[in-house]
């Protein structure tokens, strides 16, 4: 596994919009690369989802979230909740990119005694705020964190990452109603809309459309973007986080396997099969693909900004 | 001349008081205890799921409106949000009916609250058979559901004294708890005994040579009443009150049961998975082979009706406890269900 060194801070304050997007696209590239490496170690995993959500995580961790990577318990940190515990592979890759965990540790993913279990759990991993996985929990816990932090006078924000399949769960909508009722402007829900769930395409399992209208009817500010377009994600998040008066949701249409054509065109499945010999092909396709902007992995430092203002 | 048939009792409003007509009571002990505790501790918050008024949480809400959070009729987010509040340093008390906290929202209690070991205190109204509304509201199996949940402390208080003393103890306990709430006009009983609530500890309220009643919750009140009545019949009954169901004070239970007395457990809960089975397990593991029985609700969905009628029918009334003890004592011969030894 290739490792990167994670210098603590790079400042992006003076970056032009183009530089900002380029920096985040590089981060997304490395998150994908980390995920492929982890997938190879395990020989399996939710690699389709990880590749699909990499751009979203790159923007959240590189731009949106106010964190101190070396102090994951910092009281004023923004809370990132991984409601979708099976996306752990992607979250660990983003944590490594952010400097929360060492990149070298990623190779322990899913192994006995690792801090990086297959399904994410708070008690195992620094920076993992909740144990997701039983879907439909994240937004409820986010509701309580938001009520609590607001009550305590904190300006920290709660960002909950959900999947579209998770919108089947009634508890998600209990929480959605509650966030709006309580006017929780410190809640940002980010939904990975990949159209896929365990038993097949979301459209056939349980129809969730009209997605934007649903959230809007529940009292949320809604933006829908191409979740694999870093510039669009940056714009949408800038807009949603500028001066929210209530809860906001960013619906991100993503393509499972994005960045690796071999996987992107493979028949879509919740649990994508990748043969042993295909991991190197995947890495090669990622390297030669169109997603990277500049410097190859191994030559760049972490992009997270220590306690940066938003 | 016609004789009118005796008037049947009717199901009272949702929350019937199970206090006897002449019994001393204390109004809303949970709400007042929580409001008083919150004066001292700014991190205490209260939540309810459209049942503040019916779980005595309204007393807290009126005293500390800025610290009360109405979550609507949505028990999953009630418990999830309580977990989120604890995650950021608050100490929540979240109230609803026991049936909703356990049956409907168990996944949230288990994974959001108990697994991370958060100091969230779940307060369940209408535990066991304390309403005549039928199975939709009668949490007859809440202990069975929750005893299997790791990390969770479970308290079944007897009266207002227990509740007043349990509330600060639960807030002090650095972990998740479940309190079986008695609300409204709650009997005041234990102040007549040399007793203080201690989390995790059983207390012998009364000694007796013939019978040991190991009781929890409101059934301790019934056990004490039954013991007083049996005294008149020269039956000497001891009462061991076990307000904490989990962790169970096995040591006190085994010590008390290691005798030739008849041992009966008394609980406001089904025979499955509650105090009775917990005690039976403790005795078996300790090698105590004493004569043992359970006074508990049957393994059934129970009827609707007036509480006194139902408590008589299902064996929880003082009359029923007295009758059961006498019947057990009259039947000292080998147990009817006792099979012949396998190697005989």
Q: Which of A39-48, B35-44, B188-197 has the lowest mean pLDDT?
A: A39-48
- Where are the domains positioned within chain B? 25-187, 200-330
For residue A210, say if its preceding peptide bond is cis, omega within 30 degrees of 0.
Answer: yes
What's the CATH class of domain B200-330?
A: alpha beta
Predicted pLDDT at B343: 60
B82 touches A: beta carbon within 8 Å = yes
B112 touches A: beta carbon within 8 Å = yes
- Name the residue range of residue A45's domain: 18-288
B73 touches A: beta carbon within 8 Å = no
B101 touches A: beta carbon within 8 Å = no
Are B81 and A171 in contact (CB < 8 Å)? no
CATH number of the domain that residue A172 is part of: 3.40.50.970
Residues facing residue B46 across a β-bridge: B68, B93
Q: Mind giving me the DSSP string for chain A?
A: -------S----TT--HHHHHHHHHHHHHHHHHHHHHHHHHHT-SSHHHHHHHHHHHHHIIIII--B-TT-TT-TTSPEEEES-GGGHHHHHHHHHHHTSS-GGGGGGTTSTT-SS-SS--TTTSTT--S---STT-HHHHHHHHHHHHHHTT----EEEEEESGGGGSHHHHHHHHHHHHTT-TTEEEEEEE-SEETTEEHHHHS---SHHHHHHHTT-EEEEEETT-HHHHHHHHHHHHHS-SS-EEEEEE--TTTT-HHHHSSPP-SS----TTHHHHHHHHHHHSSS--SPPTTS------BT---
B76 touches A: beta carbon within 8 Å = yes
* Optimal mutation site among B77, B79, B151, interface A, most CBs of chain A within 10 A: B77
Contacting residues for B214 by C-beta, under 8 A, at least 6 apart: B202, B240, B242, B253, B256, B257, B263, B264, B265, B266, B275, B279
- CA–CA gap between residue A188 and residue A236 (Å, rounded): 12
Q: Is the pLDDT of residue B222 over 80?
A: yes
| Out of B45, B69, B88, closest to residue A145 by CB | B88
pLDDT tens for each residue of A102-131: 999 999 999 999 999 999 999 999 999 999
Q: Is the pLDDT of residue A300 over 50?
A: no
Predicted pLDDT at B271: 98
Predicted pLDDT at B105: 98
Nearest residue of chain A to residue B115 (CA atoms): A131
Predicted pLDDT at B17: 74
B79 touches A: beta carbon within 8 Å = yes
Q: Is residue A250 part of a domain?
A: yes
> What pTM, to 2 d.p., does this model score?
0.92
Q: How many domains does chain A have?
A: 1
Highest average pLDDT, of A42-51, B18-27, B48-57, comes from B48-57
Q: Is residue A300 part of a domain?
A: no
ipTM of the complex: 0.91
Domain B25-187: CATH superfamily is Thiamin diphosphate (ThDP)-binding fold, Pyr/PP domains (3.40.50.970)
pLDDT tens for each residue of B107-148: 999 999 999 999 999 999 999 999 999 999 999 999 999 999
**Residue written as token pair 């801090």:** A115
Are B88 and A178 in contact (CB < 8 Å)? no
* Optimal mutation site among A80, A131, A141, A169, interface B, most CBs of chain B within 10 A: A141
Q: Is residue A303 part of a domain?
A: no
Predicted pLDDT at A11: 46
**Residue written as token pair 């004592």:** B329
**Do B25-187 and B200-330 share a fold?**
yes
User: In percent, how much of chain B has pLDDT > 90?
Assistant: 89
Question: Per the structure block, which two tokens stand in for A186?
Answer: 């410190």
- Please answer whether residues A47 and A13 qualify as being in contact, where contact means their C-beta atoms are separated by less than 8 angstroms: no
pLDDT tens for each residue of A185-240: 999 999 999 998 888 899 899 999 999 999 999 999 999 999 999 999 999 999 99
Q: What is the mean pLDDT of chain B?
A: 94
Q: What is the 3-state secondary structure (H, E, C) of chain B?
A: CCCCCCCCCCCCCCCCCCCCCCCCEEECHHHHHHHHHHHHCCCEEEEECCCCCCCCHHHHHHHCHHHEEECCCCHHHHHHHHHHHHHCCCEEEEEEEHHHHHHHCHHHHHHHHHCCCCCCEEEEECECCCCCCCCCCCECCHHHHHHCCCCCEEECCCCHHHHHHHHHHHHHCCCCEEEECCCCEEECCHHHCCCCCCCCCCEEEECCCCEEEEECCHHHHHHHHHHHHHHHCCCCEEEEECCEEECCCHHHHHHHHCCCCEEEEEEEEECCCCHHHHHHHHHHHCCCCCCEEEEEECCCCCCCCCHHHHHHHCCCCHHHHHHHHHHHHHCCCCCCCCCCCCCC
User: In percent, how much of chain A has pLDDT > 90?
Assistant: 79
Predicted pLDDT at A306: 44
Could you tell me which of A227, A191, A221 has the C-alpha nearest to residue A209?
A191
């Amino acid at each position: 596994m290739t490792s990167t060194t994670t210098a603590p801070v790079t400042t992006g304050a003076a970056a032009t919009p183009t530089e900002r997007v380029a920096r985040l696209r590089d981060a997304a590239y490395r998150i994908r690369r980390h995920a492929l490496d982890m997938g190879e170690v395990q020989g399996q995993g939710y690699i389709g989802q990880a590749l699909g959500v990499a751009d979203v995580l790159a923007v959240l961790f590189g731009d949106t979230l106010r964190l101190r990577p070396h102090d994951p318990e910092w009281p004023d940190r923004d809370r990132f909740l991984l409601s979708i515990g099976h996306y752990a592979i992607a979250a660990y890759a983003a944590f490594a990119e952010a400097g929360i965990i060492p990149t070298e540790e990623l190779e322990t993913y899913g192994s006995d005694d690792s801090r990086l279990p297959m399904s994410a759990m708070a008690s195992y991993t620094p920076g993992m705020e909740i144990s997701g996985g039983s879907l439909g929990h994240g937004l409820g816990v986010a509701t309580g964190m938001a009520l609590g932090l607001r009550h305590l006078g904190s300006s920290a924000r709660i960002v909950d990452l959900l999947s579209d399949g998770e919108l089947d769960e009634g508890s998600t909508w209990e929480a959605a109603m509650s966030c709006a009722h309580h006017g929780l402007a410190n809640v940002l829900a980010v939904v990975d809309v990949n159209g896929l769930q365990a038993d097949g395409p979301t459209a056939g399992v349980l129809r969730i459309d009209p997605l934007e209208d649903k959230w809007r009817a529940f009292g949320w500010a809604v933006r829908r973007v191409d979740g694999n377009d870093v510039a669009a994600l940056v714009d949408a998040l800038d807009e949603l986080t500028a001066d929210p008066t209530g809860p906001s949701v960013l619906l991100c249409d993503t393509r499972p396997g994005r960045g690796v054509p071999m996987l992107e065109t493979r028949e879509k499945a919740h649990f994508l099969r990748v043969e042993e010999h295909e991991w190197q092909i995947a890495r090669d396709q990622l390297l030669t693909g169109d997603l990277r902007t500049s410097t190859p992995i191994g030559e760049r430092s972490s992009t997270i900004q220590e306690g940066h203002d938003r | 001349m016609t004789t009118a048939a005796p008037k049947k009792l009717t199901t009272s409003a949702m929350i019937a008081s199970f206090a006897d007509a002449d019994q001393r009571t204390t109004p809303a002990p949970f709400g007042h205890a929580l409001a008083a505790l919150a004066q001292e501790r700014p991190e205490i918050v209260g939540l309810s799921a459209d049942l503040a008024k019916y779980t005595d949480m309204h007393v807290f809400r009126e005293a500390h409106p800025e610290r009360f959070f109405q979550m609507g009729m949505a028990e999953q987010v009630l418990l999830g949000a309580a977990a989120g509040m604890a995650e950021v340093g608050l100490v929540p008390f979240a109230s609803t009916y026991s049936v909703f906290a356990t049956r409907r929202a168990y996944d949230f209690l288990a994974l959001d609250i108990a697994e991370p070991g958060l100091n969230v205190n779940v307060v369940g109204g209408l535990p066991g058979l304390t309403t005549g509304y039928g199975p939709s509201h009668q949490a007859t199996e809440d202990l069975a559901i929750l005893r299997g949940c790791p990390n969770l402390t479970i308290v079944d208080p007897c009266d207002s004294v227990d509740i007043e003393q349990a509330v600060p103890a639960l807030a002090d306990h650095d972990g998740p708890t479940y309190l079986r709430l008695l609300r409204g006009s709650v009997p005041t009983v234990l102040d007549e005994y040399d007793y203080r609530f201690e989390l995790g500890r059983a207390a012998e309220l009364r000694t007796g040579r013939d019978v040991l009643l190991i009781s929890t919750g409101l059934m301790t009140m019934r056990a004490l009443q039954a013991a007083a009545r049996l005294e008149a019949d020269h039956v000497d009954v001891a009462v061991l009150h076990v307000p904490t169901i989990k962790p169970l004070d096995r040591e006190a239970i085994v010590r008390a049961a290691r005798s030739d007395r008849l041992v009966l457990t008394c609980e406001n809960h089904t025979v499955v998975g509650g105090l009775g089975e917990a005690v039976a397990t403790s005795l078996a593991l300790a090698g105590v082979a004493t004569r043992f029985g359970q006074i508990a609700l049957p393994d059934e969905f129970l009827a609707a009706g007036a509480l006194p009628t139902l408590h008589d029918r299902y064996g929880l009334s003082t009359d029923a406890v007295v009758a059961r003890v006498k019947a057990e004592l009259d039947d000292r011969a080998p147990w009817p269900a006792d099979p012949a030894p396998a190697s005989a």
